[in-house]
Amino acid sequence: MNVSASPAGSLAIPFDHQRLDRLMDEAGIDVVVATSKHNAQYLTGGHRADFFDYMDATGVSRYLPVFVYPKGAPEMAAYIGHRLEKFQTQNNPLWVSEVQVTSGSSVDAMQKAVDYMRKAGLKPKRIAAEYGFLPFDAANVLRAAYPNADWVDALFVLERQRAKKSAAELAKLKAASEAVLASMQAVMAGHGEGATKQQIADALRLEEVKRGMTFEYCLITAGTSLNRAPSDQKLAPRDILSIDSGGNYKGYIGDICRMAILGEPDAELVDYLGEIETIQRAAMKPIKAGAMGREIYAAGEPLRAKSKHHNHMDFLAHGMGMVSHEGPRLTDHGPVPYPNEYADMPLETGMVVSVETTLLHQNRGFIKLEDTVVVTETGHEIYGEGLRGWNRMGTGL
C-alpha cells in the first residue's frame, strides 16, 4: 500500500490513493461519492460512527456518511458525517482537510457534500455513486446539483480498490479469523448432548465479543437436518454439526466453517470430510500472485464434478474483506453467482479469497469446510488454519 503524507497536513493518507486514481481514470470517473458505511470507513482510514454502527434509522430520515474523493486530488477530499460523530473525530482526527460532522439527515448530508463540491470548484462530468447505498432523497439532491453529469455505479471501482489489502488490513483479517476459530473451539468444547442450536449460536456470539469482535452471524446445522438457522433443535448422540460464523474485527470479517460431532465419526463421515478437504487443498494450490482468478475454479470444480456426490455438492470461491463476498468475484454460476469480472484478471498480492466446499447429504447431514486464503507473492497463506477435522463436542477445556 502506498501511504503518503497528507497534502492537507500532518496525517497520512491511509490507502493507496494512486491506485484509486488509476482505477478512476480507467473508468473515466471524475469524482467518487461514497455513501456506504464500509467504504466511508475504508476511505477515512477506520472511522465508523459508533452511534450508527447497528441502526441507520433516525427520526424521519436515516444516517448517511458521505465521502467525496476527486480523482488525482486527495487534498480536496471531504467527509460529511452526523453531528454525533464530532466527539469521535475530536479524539481521532481524520486525514481529510474538509470534515463536516454537522448533518442530521440523508438530505442534509448530501446537500452539505454538494455545497462543498461547489465551493471547491469541482465540476465533474462523470460521478461514481454507490447505487445500492444511496437513498432516493439524497440521490435527488446530487442529481439536481449536477443534472448534466453522467452517473456510474461506484461499486466496481471501490471494490477493486479494496481488493488488494494492505499489511494493516491483513493483520485485522488474520486476527478476525483466528478469533472466530478460537471462539468455535471454546463453544464446541463447552456444549454437548441436549444443547440447542440457539444456545450454541448465543455462546459463539459471547465468545467472539469476548475476543474483541463484533458478532455478525452463525449458520449452524445439527444432525441430518440441512436447516442452517439457530433453533431449539437439541443435540443428540452421534449428531454432526457445521458451524459457519462471521466475526467482524475493526471492520474486517473473519469467516470460516468447521465441523463437529457428538461422539466419534464413522469411516463414512471421515471419508466425506476427507473428500471436502481434498477439494479445498486442490483449489487453494494455484493461489499466488499473478495466477488468473479462474485457475481456482479450474483446480477445484473438476474434483467436485467427478465426485459421486456431485449432485449434492457445492464449490465456491469469493473475495473477503470488509464485505463478505466482495472482490475478487470469480464465477457467474454455482450456488452464489455474480458478475465474474475477476476470473480473467491476475490475482494480486494482498487479495483475500474464501474457499468453501459443501456436501448436502440427505442421510448424513450438512458437511462443509470454509477457509480464508491470502494471496502472497510466492503462494498463499491460510488464516485460521486449525480444527479442520471432526471436532468432538462437549469435551471441556
What residue segments make up the domains of the chain, in order of their start?
17-162, 167-392
Q: What residues have CB less than 8 Å from 91, skipping those under 6 apart?
A: none
Give the type of residue at 193.
E
Given CA atoms 261, 264, 267, 268 in this order, what sign does their dihedral have?
negative
Strands 313-319 and 352-361: antiparallel
- What local confidence, expressed as pLDDT, does residue 157 receive? 97
| Residue 319, all three cell numbers | 473475495
- Architecture, CATH, for domain 167-392: Alpha-Beta Complex (3.90)
- What local confidence, expressed as pLDDT, does residue 286 receive? 97
* Three-class secondary structure of residue 284 per DSSP: helix
> Which one-letter DSSP state was computed for residue 213?
P
- Architecture, CATH, for domain 17-162: 3-Layer(aba) Sandwich (3.40)
Helix (H) or strand (E) run with residue 391 in it: strand 390-392
Q: Which long-range contacts (CB under 8 A, 24 or more apart) does 110-113 make?
A: 110/64, 110/66, 110/80, 110/138, 110/139, 110/141, 110/142, 111/141, 112/66, 112/80, 113/33, 113/66, 113/68, 113/78, 113/80, 113/142
Give the type of residue at 75.
E
Q: What residues have CB less than 8 Å from 115, skipping those under 6 apart?
A: none
pLDDT tens for each residue of the chain, 397 residues long? 333 434 444 579 999 999 999 999 999 999 999 999 999 999 999 999 999 998 999 999 999 999 999 999 999 999 999 999 999 999 999 999 999 999 999 999 999 999 999 999 999 999 999 999 999 999 999 999 999 999 999 999 999 999 999 999 999 999 999 999 999 999 999 999 999 999 999 999 999 999 999 999 999 999 999 999 999 999 999 999 999 999 999 999 999 999 999 999 999 999 999 999 999 999 999 999 999 999 999 999 999 999 999 999 999 999 999 998 999 989 888 788 888 889 999 999 999 999 999 999 999 999 999 999 999 999 999 999 999 999 999 987 5
Its pTM stands at 0.93
